[in-house]
Amino acid sequence: MGDRLEKFRKILIANRGEIAVRVIRACRELEISPVVVYSDADAEALHVKLSDEAYNIGPAASIESYLCIEKIIEVAQRSGAEAVHPGYGFLSENQQFAQACQDSGLTFIGPTADSMKVMGDKVASRVAVQTAGVAVVPGTAALESIQDAVRAAGNLGYPVMLKASAGGGGKGLRLVSDEEQLRSVYETTRNEARSSFNEPTVYLEKYLSRPRHLEIQILGDLHGNLIHLGERECSIQRRHQKLLEESPSPMMGESIREQLAEAALTVAKTVDYQNAGTVEFLVDSTSSSQQPKFYFLEMNTRLQVEHPVTEIVTGIDLVQEQILIAAGNKLRYSQPDVRLRGSAIQCRIYAEDPQNQFLPSPGRITTYFEPSGPGIRNDSGVYAQVEVPVEYDPLISKLLAYGEDRGQAIGRMRRALREYKIGGIQTTIPFFEVLLSDPEFLEGSLHTHFLEERELVEKMKVVLQKSDVTPLIAAALYYRLRNHSSKTAGGRPRDSLWKHYGRFPDTFR
């Protein structure tokens, strides 16, 4: 590690929110100048304030700003940036964007466009992985018609998953229980895939009833070196969207850990993978065999939302490694250097209302107080008085807790959740407080349908309804006992305080 490192002088970050802030911080530590882009809706965003240069690229609509390849390339060239970091989401897995960067003389901080092309297509990736000897969930190739779908589903046996080949984030995905339902959702799913990914191709996979979702983080350089950085448990999901991740997995034996890691490296080698990537698997926890069966699910050819979990337990800065790899450096770590120490948990804090079907809760953040203390990290993209736009993913921050073991990490996370205060909007903090108190979660008995089976959303609503009474009583007693005059110190009638706040002050919440 003592060798001189090749580095960029200036990097453009083609993203927004907490991931843009995260990349800015990595650039600062490497003494690289960070440049950002922003839409009209993000003029006051944190990533704009923290960067060296910021360029407006258009209206709030993503298609006219963060998804506009021509605008981002133009800004990168105008600013003098040598490389582009795509973050995650938006253009991060867009092979046309990666190729456009290369054609414009810019370094794309990520894998090659060819690797993206294979792994970005779920049907093509299934074929490539099977050829390499890695098991996939029983399923089909691309479906040509509803007749093909009905015939294939009959062979697989219901229930099945109808999936978009270019899908992600729970879009273009349907659980199908019988032929009648398959016929009714086939075209709907194709249309959703076409509108979301500009690719209507769909295929079928056998439905696994209680799988665990595990993923392996990998790093590869331009010199053929490839390593893995252990696993992340991502089984806590809602509507196929991850909510909480942790490392190491609480129910992972050393034998299957090694098998998953080896399979992940095999998958990466099939496409000569470079930079950071994640290979995802479903583990069939209902398997009658002593050794659980696992199946390749997909490969994400980018940095994952949950990458900090791995950073904490390995001590390796993944974003810095991405940048240094793209600059042509060899990996600074060999496989024996990678050790998982302790336990880390990440809660995705969204601007969503958990009492109202987790609908987005955009608006102005009136108060903002981040937790801190031993073992706490918070990757955030907001601050007090900033607006959470309606146009984008409502992720506010990623709250992480580290401990010497899983029990300590959970204890620290529960403490941090109680400290975290966000006013003006609804957030998912109350949901996580209930989840981290659930007995089966504490035992680590996880699977992708955990929330539904445990009815945790309903339990959370009951807890919140009960807890709402206490602040009301406390506030009433406080004002009743403490205030003897009819005026406040500033001369405002005390009755008008309630109208002023519109609800009880945050002091009592």
Q: How confident is the model at residue 292, as a pLDDT?
A: 83
Tokens 């290979």 found at: 279
- Phi then psi for residue 246, to 5 deg, are -150, 160
With 0-12 / 13-18 / 19 or more C-beta atoms within 10 angstroms meaning exposed / middle / buried, residue 485 is exposed
Q: How confident is the model at residue 390, as a pLDDT?
A: 96
Q: How confident is the model at residue 470, as a pLDDT?
A: 45
* Measured distance CA(474)–CA(430) in Å, rounded: 20
Q: How confident is the model at residue 120, as a pLDDT?
A: 87
- Phi then psi for residue 459, to 5 deg, are -65, -40
**Residue 216 β-bridge partners:** 231, 279
Q: How confident is the model at residue 2, as a pLDDT?
A: 53
Structure tokens at 187: 């075209």
Q: Which regions in the chain score pLDDT beneath 50? A: 1, 469-482, 484-509
232 is catalytic: no
Structure tokens at 47: 């990533």
Q: How confident is the model at residue 461, as a pLDDT?
A: 83
Catalytic residue, candidates 16, 126, 174, 302: 302
* Measured distance CA(151)–CA(147) in Å, rounded: 6
Q: In terms of Cα–Cα distance, which of 392, 384, 466 is closest to 425?
A: 384
Tokens 């979301």 found at: 196
Q: In terms of Cα–Cα distance, which of 42, 79, 77 is closest to 386?
A: 42
481 three-state secondary structure: helix
**What domains can you pick out in the chain, each with its CATH number?**
10-109 (3.40.50.20), 110-136+209-341 (3.30.470.20), 138-206 (3.30.1490.20), 343-466 (3.30.470.20), 469-508 (no CATH)
CA–centroid distance for 108 within its chain = 21
493 three-state secondary structure: strand
Structure tokens at 301: 């050819």
Judge contact between 56 and 293, C-beta under 8 A. Answer: no
Q: How confident is the model at residue 288, as a pLDDT?
A: 52
349 three-state secondary structure: strand
Q: How confident is the model at residue 172, as a pLDDT?
A: 86
